[in-house]
Amino acid sequence: VWTSYAHIASWGILLARTSDEGAPQNGISYFICPMKTPGIDIRPIVDMTGDHAFNEVFFDEVRIPADHLIGDVNEGWRLAKVTLGNERVSLSGEGALWGRGPSANDLVNLAKGESLTALQRESLVKCWSHGEILRLLRIRTLSAVLAGREPGPEASVRKALADDHGQEIMGLAVEFAGVGAMDSSVGPFGLTGSEAQTWRHGFLYAQALTIGGGTSVVQRNIIAERVLQLPKELSV
């Protein structure tokens, strides 16, 4: 479930169990699967913005050639982690919504010339500062990838911080809209029309940031165990 753009994708990633020996993660292989293969059923999920990006995907007696295997048999868990790491790097643009959409700089530019309280100014400065920290972290992460290194747990650090930051930006935008936020046609500082719609859509979409692409809880577990070397979470 939650397969992004499965309805328009030509290929999908399929992790399949190919061995039951050893640790559970050691018996997984990584395949690519043509999405037009007979037996694949794709059902849309419409989110609260009204968009259709996610899907449920069902496999019913689906068969694919053995040469669709990527890497070695039973090496799928490592490749899946590399894939997720690269995905987290790809979501690291300046925009609040996984690299897209408005940014903290956009909000600052809207606020110029507006009458803000001291608390609002402080919140806006903190938001902009968080954006600058993430920009520098993004440069460091991208530089490592361009140098040929696999994305490590540092990608989880940036994603966890960026997801919170995206919600911070959109939360401030709603605050700056005031009571006008109750009107779907009004944005921050009285914006109207398509610009207001961009911010409204962003606020609704931002609620998914700490869930999609690996939840914030998962990211923090990765950071705790692989960066800070804390004890592993107890298995129940």
Active-site residue list: 87
Cα–Cα distance, 191 to 174 (Å, whole number): 11
In order of 23, 74, 159, 214, 218, the CA distances from 228 in angstroms are 24, 28, 16, 19, 14
Helix axes 193-206, 154-177, angle to 10 degrees: 130
Residue 184, both tokens:
């779907």
Q: Assess contact for 227 and 153: CB atoms under 8 A.
A: yes
Cα–Cα distance, 89 to 142 (Å, whole number): 7
Strand-pair category, 11-17 with 40-46? unpaired
